[in-house]
Amino acid sequence: MPDVAVVGAGYVGLTTAACLAHLGHRVVCADIDAERVARLGKGEVPILEDGLPDLVAQGIAAGRLRFVVGARAAAAEAEFVFLCVPTPQGDDGAADLSYVEDVAREIAPVLRPGTVVVNKSTMPVGSTRLVERILGEAGASIEEIRVASNPEFLREGSSVRDFLHPHRVVIGCDDPAVAVRVSDLYRSLNAPILVTDPASAEMIKYASNAFLATKISFVNAIANLCEALDADVRDVTLGMGYDPRIGFEFLHPGPGYGGSCFPKDTAALLHTARSVGYAFPLLEGVVEVNRRQQVRMVERLRAALEGRLEGRTVAVLGLTFKANTDDLRDSPALVVAAALVAAGARVRAYDPAAGERAADAVPGLEVCADPYEACGGAEALAVLTEWDEFRWLDYDRIRGCMAGAVLLDARNLLDPSAMRRRGFRYQGVGRS
Ligand code: UDX
């Protein structure tokens, strides 16, 4: 009997399944997509995540990890059932819990007495109660089934490392015995384990992401001020970061935050706040600063091109929401590229991981096979995602194949003086 069933083989589910198998648990991972399950069964991992393919192969080889189609098949045999299905953003900003509800209804009739259902996907405060209610309504003997919240804090691109070296493991559950059982799954990680009530555990996730988003919007606002005051944001954040109450992390200014989490989770938290009549101007400000930061990048390019984007050629390096991922969801780089296309510019872009899909996402965006091709004939170049390889490009060659000299380094990736020596009209974010 497998210890654990993981429902949903997206980046949270797959990372959770592969890492729990790596920790020695017997794991069955379920997904509704039969083709995805078939590929995973052969060890083919359809997402770009450092170390994940090895862990999946290792788990399959050790007989501790297997993949099935459908949640019921997995849940019927398991002691723990992790719900790792999508909770996308709904029209009103609320988290859409329909996938969670569907899975809860599907597994309810087959859960064994003593099974613990674990909410792993990001779900708003009250979701543990919701799952308990649906399981009960759908035929589970709720007296013998327990539900716990166990939010993940994985970053895309480093999810395996984040799972195996967590800052903390959070468990939200009313039943201390169940909390001990869930924490036992993570015992070999030697990480701090915080056991609390479900609502607090659910809030820890949202508050953590909202706080990180706040840090980024704050540093982007400070960076914009630095531009107006001729200060250098890199020195400013260095000076701030020495204070351990502030820290150095998440103080990198740029084109704004994106991805599948921060935009969605800040919107969901604002929705939750509204639903209980709490005004949250601070977080509204964070979201607004982030929206303006993306617009600001477009306006800076327009200003650098004598106020006209129509008919100009702009090269873009980076389309994913951050480096080391192939994820384009809510990517600021893609928002900027799309706005440039909408303004009538010819946009030639390069991204190491997501080029083709970006072309589908932004009609009119020309995606090139290499960065030099993208820069050919461009009057301006915008570096929008902090891929490491962009540091080491031949900028003499790039300057030579561009028609203009404008360089907007929206990630402060490059050395301003080195770029100016090469004849670029260099602009960073928060530094002159
Ligand atoms: C985030 C959280 O970090 C993670 O704990 C949570 O579980 C899921 O959401 P992720 O979305 O993968 O992870 O990306 P993250 O590395 O946090 O970056 C989010 C966005 O902020 C990216 O667009 C990134 O470029 C931007 N960012 C990050 C900055 O602009 N500046 C920074 O200093 C850090």
Ligand 1 centroid, distance to 114 Cα (angstroms): 37
259/326 Cα distance (integer angstroms): 11
DSSP code of residue 64: S
Residue 146 contacts residue 116 (beta carbons within 8 Å): yes
For the stretch 381-423, pLDDT in tens is 999 999 999 999 999 999 999 999 999 999 999 999 999 999 9
How many Å separate Cα 361 from the centre of its chain? 18
Asked if the model's pLDDT at residue 2 lies above 70, the reply is no
For the stretch 135-191, pLDDT in tens is 999 999 889 999 999 999 999 999 999 999 999 999 999 999 999 999 999 999 999
* CB-based pocket (< 6 A), ligand 1: 152-156, 209, 212, 216, 250-252, 254, 257-259, 261-262, 321-322
Ligand 1 centroid, distance to 355 Cα (angstroms): 21
The residue whose CA has the least distance to atom 22 of ligand 1 is 257
Per-residue tokens: 1:
């009997």
**Residues recognised as catalytic:** 261
For the stretch 333-385, pLDDT in tens is 999 999 999 999 999 999 999 988 999 999 999 999 999 999 999 999 999 99
Residue 212 contacts residue 322 (beta carbons within 8 Å): no
| Overall pTM surpassing 0.85 (yes/no) | yes
Residue 161 contacts residue 131 (beta carbons within 8 Å): no
410/427 Cα distance (integer angstroms): 8
Residue 253 contacts residue 412 (beta carbons within 8 Å): yes
With 0-12 / 13-18 / 19 or more C-beta atoms within 10 angstroms meaning exposed / middle / buried, residue 393 is: middle
